């Protein structure tokens, strides 16, 4: 009897740890490459140990353990990607602003997304500080625990996943455009005005004149629009849990 209980606990713990480990590796802040790997593993194991006695794992596909594992992996990736989509959008906005201001030539390696600009990293740091300040990481852990109520172990439907992915991608581009629009539109106007200056005085080396103007005007617009950027970013960070719930509902079928 004891052996059966131990065997049942271990199998349940492994399934809980599988989903927990994947989600922790992909969550904002916890999944960062700057976050120590030992702490990621320890946090995953600790959460799995706490949840295992509280969660009933119902395996309906007898003998198809690889299929159940694959479903858990898909669920974990979907959860993690949804939790990070706002950060991807914010860094995309920083990339757009850098391209518009002409400072995208200053590329550096970002361990989170690879090659990126300094403006993207600045926006990413701001978003991470806002994320932690509003306790959004606690909301994500709560949403993860609730995921076992909506989707018990191995019970997901992939049919609604594509629609959710398309919806998140669309929202990601909309957020990036909203955040970068003030600077990008100002740069378009600056291009037009400097084009008139070049037509009026062709002897001016417009290339050397334009880039300092773009950087100066872009930074001024960023400083003026920073309260709006912080407000919009804060609102979208607060809606991550709602988007995760929508994705989990779609996976439920």
What are the φ/ψ torsions at residue 114 (nearest 5 degrees)? 90, -135
SS3 59: coil
Residue whose structure tokens are 């990607």: 81
Alpha-carbon separation of residue 172 from 11, 24, 123, 165, 235 (angstroms): 38, 21, 15, 10, 14
Q: What pLDDT shows up at residue 4?
A: 61
Report the C-alpha gap between 87 and 41 in whole angstroms: 23
The full set of domain ranges for the chain reads 2-252
Buried/exposed 48-78: b ≥16 CB within 10 Å, e otherwise: beebbeebebebeeeeeeeebeebbeebbeb
The H or E element spanning position 116 is strand 114-117
83: CB partners within 8 A, 6+ apart: 23, 26, 27, 28, 140, 240, 244
Please give the model's pTM, rounded to 2 decimal places.
0.78
Q: What pLDDT shows up at residue 72?
A: 80
- pLDDT tens string, the chain, 253 residues long: the values are 565 666 667 777 888 888 888 888 888 877 777 777 888 888 888 888 888 777 766 655 554 667 777 878 888 888 888 888 888 888 888 888 888 887 766 565 555 555 556 787 888 888 888 888 888 888 888 888 888 777 776 667 777 777 888 888 888 888 898 888 888 898 888 888 888 877 777 777 777 777 788 888 888 998 898 888 888 888 888 888 888 888 888 777 6
Residue whose structure tokens are 């600056």: 190
Helix ranges, 36-101 (H): 37-51, 65-101
């Amino acid at each position: 009897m004891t052996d059966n209980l131990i065997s049942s606990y271990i199998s349940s713990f492994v399934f809980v740890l599988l989903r927990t480990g994947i989600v922790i590796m992909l969550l904002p802040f916890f999944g960062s490459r700057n976050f120590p790997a030992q702490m990621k593993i320890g946090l995953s194991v600790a959460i799995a140990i706490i949840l295992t006695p509280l969660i009933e794992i119902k395996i309906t596909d007898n003998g198809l353990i690889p299929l159940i594992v694959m479903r858990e992996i898909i669920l974990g990736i979907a959860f993690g990607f949804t939790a990070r989509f706002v950060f991807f959008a914010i860094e995309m906005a920083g990339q757009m602003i850098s391209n518009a201001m002409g400072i995208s030539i200053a590329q550096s390696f970002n361990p989170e997304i690879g090659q990126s600009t300094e403006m993207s990293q600045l926006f990413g740091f701001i978003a991470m500080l806002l994320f932690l300040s509003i306790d959004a990481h606690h909301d994500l852990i709560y949403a993860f625990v609730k995921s076992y109520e909506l989707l018990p172990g191995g019970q997901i439907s992939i049919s609604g996943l594509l629609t959710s992915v398309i919806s998140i991608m669309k929202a990601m581009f909309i957020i990036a455009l909203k955040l970068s629009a003030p600077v990008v539109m100002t740069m378009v106007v600056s291009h037009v005005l400097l084009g008139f200056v070049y037509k009026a005085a062709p002897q001016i080396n417009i290339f050397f004149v334009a880039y300092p103007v773009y950087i100066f005007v872009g930074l001024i617009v960023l400083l003026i629009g920073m309260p709006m950027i912080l407000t919009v970013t804060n609102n979208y960070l607060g809606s991550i849990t709602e988007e995760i719930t929508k994705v989990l509902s779609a996976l439920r079928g």
